[in-house]
Structure formats: structure tokens, C-alpha cells
């Protein structure tokens, strides 16, 4: 037997069965492992891919990482439709079921406390981008008349760039404050690298908000209302996600 146990999430027991066609990481169907008052959602993965060394190599392979992350998310998504899952970090792997049971026993109190806090809540992601600078600045026609003229033009252009940045940052700050007041909790992720995201513009805010499912519609409207507030700025909303960013302790 060379299979390892990949654990996606821990949940309270739930009545609805998982979709029968659901597949997890590596194509194996996820199963429920009940222990004490909790359920671990697990599937079998080949040791050849998930032993420490292989995993390290795989994690530097974008294609592998992408397929694995999407499979993990697929299971979490399916769980989100039937319960409030407590998602584990990508590639949490145990030798066997007894390892999973031992882990549940060791963390039982934490799990129950966090599950209580997250019950009925979802995560929304909000990102703010400063759009790429307009291609053609209304540059004064012709060559600079003098060295002094050249320096003046350069100063003006630098000044304009700084102003755009400051405006975007002020916008992001005020949006974050507004959304944080509405949400139960919030987390700031590092701004995304544009080479990685392939998104135009600079990412100035990358935040996650914990919102009761019942209030999600209002939250989305709140984000939507900022639409016409600032030129040159783009807001992107993702979700609803399982509460990945809120599995730690609540911020006081």
C-alpha cells in the first residue's frame, strides 16, 4: 500500500452526501473519515507524488501546482454547498487514517472553536488595482526648448505618477475601512505580483473579508457602489470562498 491520506478540510458531521462524481487531488474520490465529533474529508494520493521530496519538486512546477490547487478547491467548493468547512492548507498529507485521527484528537478543541466562529460565514476577496498609465500623456508639442524646460517636464511627469499612486492608496484605504466596518473580520494579503496574476495595472489592495452568508448580497452591493468613485482605479471581487483566510484566531 503506497497511498497517503490527503486531508482537504475538517467539518462537523453533515447529512447531505457529497456529489457522487466529485474527484479530488490526483483524481481519487474524496471520502469522509468520522472521528470524535468531527469529520475529516480525505482522499488517497500516491506516495510517489506526495512524499516530502517529490512534493518540494512539484511545488515549483506551475502546471502541477495549478491542477492540484484547483482539485483541492473543487472539493472545498463542494463542501461549502453542504456545510461550513474548515479548509486545511494545500498538501496536508498523512501516512494513514490513524495519523488523521491522531491529528483530529490533538486539535479537536481548536477545530470546534473555529468551526463555531465560521458557521454560516463566507470569505469575499476584494482587490484594488491602479490601472496602467494612459499611453499618451498630453505632452507639450516639440522638443524641450532648453535644459530647464526639459527638467520642468520631467518633474511634472514624476509628480503626476506620484499623485496617481497617492489617490489609489487613499481610495484603497477608505474602501478597506468601509468594508471592514461591515465585515466581521478582515485580512490583508500581500499585493499580487502582476507577472503572476497577468492582470493589468498595479495591485494596491488585496484583502479578504469574513461575511455572514445572509449578508453577502449587501456586501457585494457595497463593493459595487464604489464603481464610479475613482477614475483610473479598478476593483475586483472574488468569492464567495470558504473562509481560508480566517482559520486562525479572530483579530481582537
By CB under 8 A, is residue 7 in contact with another protein? yes
> From the list 125, 172, 176, 209, which residue makes contact with another protein (rule: CB under 8 A)?
125
Phi/psi of residue 42, nearest 5 degrees: -130, 160
User: Cβ distance 208 to 187 under 8 Å?
Assistant: yes
By CB under 8 A, is residue 72 in contact with another protein? yes
Calculate helix-pair angle for 216-224, 147-182, nearest 10 degrees: 160
User: Cβ distance 4 to 93 under 8 Å?
Assistant: yes
> From the list 16, 17, 60, 139, which residue makes contact with another protein (rule: CB under 8 A)?
60
Residue 26 is given by DSSP the state G
By CB under 8 A, is residue 216 in contact with another protein? no
User: Cβ distance 41 to 79 under 8 Å?
Assistant: yes
Residue closer to another protein by CB (options 60, 142) is 60
Query: What contacts 24+ positions apart, CB below 8 Å, involve 163-169?
Result: 164/130, 164/133, 164/232, 165/130, 167/230, 167/232, 167/233, 168/128, 168/130, 168/202, 168/204, 168/230, 168/232, 168/233, 169/204
Q: How far is the CB of 197 from another protein (least distance, A)?
A: 4
| Cα atoms in the Cβ-side hemisphere of radius 13 Å centred on 209 | 27
Distance, CA of 52 to chain centre: 25
| SS3 of residue 100 by DSSP | helix
> From the list 70, 113, 155, 173, which residue makes contact with another protein (rule: CB under 8 A)?
70
> From the list 23, 180, 192, 216, which residue makes contact with another protein (rule: CB under 8 A)?
192
Q: How far is the CB of 105 from another protein (least distance, A)?
A: 11
> From the list 50, 75, 164, 209, which residue makes contact with another protein (rule: CB under 8 A)?
50
By CB under 8 A, is residue 172 in contact with another protein? no
Segment near another protein (CB under 8 A), from 19-27, 28-36, 177-185, 243-251?
Answer: 243-251
> From the list 90, 169, 182, 240, which residue makes contact with another protein (rule: CB under 8 A)?
90
By CB under 8 A, is residue 251 in contact with another protein? no
> From the list 1, 48, 141, 198, which residue makes contact with another protein (rule: CB under 8 A)?
198
Peptide bond into 219 cis (omega under 30): no
Residues that bind another protein (CB under 8 A): 4, 7, 10, 50-52, 55-56, 59-60, 62-63, 65-66, 69-70, 72-73, 86-96, 98-99, 102-103, 106-107, 111, 114, 123, 125, 189-190, 192-193, 195-199, 206, 208, 223-224, 226-238, 241, 244-247
Amino acid at each position: 500500500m503506497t497511498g497517503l491520506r490527503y486531508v482537504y478540510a475538517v467539518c462537523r458531521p453533515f447529512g447531505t452526501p457529497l456529489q457522487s462524481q466529485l474527484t479530488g487531488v490526483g483524481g481519487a474520490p474524496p471520502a469522509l473519515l468520522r472521528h470524535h465529533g468531527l469529520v475529516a474529508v480525505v482522499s488517497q494520493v500516491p506516495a510517489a507524488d506526495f512524499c516530502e521530496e517529490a512534493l518540494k519538486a512539484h511545488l515549483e512546477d506551475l502546471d502541477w501546482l495549478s491542477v492540484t490547487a484547483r482539485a483541492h478547491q473543487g472539493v472545498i467548493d463542494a463542501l461549502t454547498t453542504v456545510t461550513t468547512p474548515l479548509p486545511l492548507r494545500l498538501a496536508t498529507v498523512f501516512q494513514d487514517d490513524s495519523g488523521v485521527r491522531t491529528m483530529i484528537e490533538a486539535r479537536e478543541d481548536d477545530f470546534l472553536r473555529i468551526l463555531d466562529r465560521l458557521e454560516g460565514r463566507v470569505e469575499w476577496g476584494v482587490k484594488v488595482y491602479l490601472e496602467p498609465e494612459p499611453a499618451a500623456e498630453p505632452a507639450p508639442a516639440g522638443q524641450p526648448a532648453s535644459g530647464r524646460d526639459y527638467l520642468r517636464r520631467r518633474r511634472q511627469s514624476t509628480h503626476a505618477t506620484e499623485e496617481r499612486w497617492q489617490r489609489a492608496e487613499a481610495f484603497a484605504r477608505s474602501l478597506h475601512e468601509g468594508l471592514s466596518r461591515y465585515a466581521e473580520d478582515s485580512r490583508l494579503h500581500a499585493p499580487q505580483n502582476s507577472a503572476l496574476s497577468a492582470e493589468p495595472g498595479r495591485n494596491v489592495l488585496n484583502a479578504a473579508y469574513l461575511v455572514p452568508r445572509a449578508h453577502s448580497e449587501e456586501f457585494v452591493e457595497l463593493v459595487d457602489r464604489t464603481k464610479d468613485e475613482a477614475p483610473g482605479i479598478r476593483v475586483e471581487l472574488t468569492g464567495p470562498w470558504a473562509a481560508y483566510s480566517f482559520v486562525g484566531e479572530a483579530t481582537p
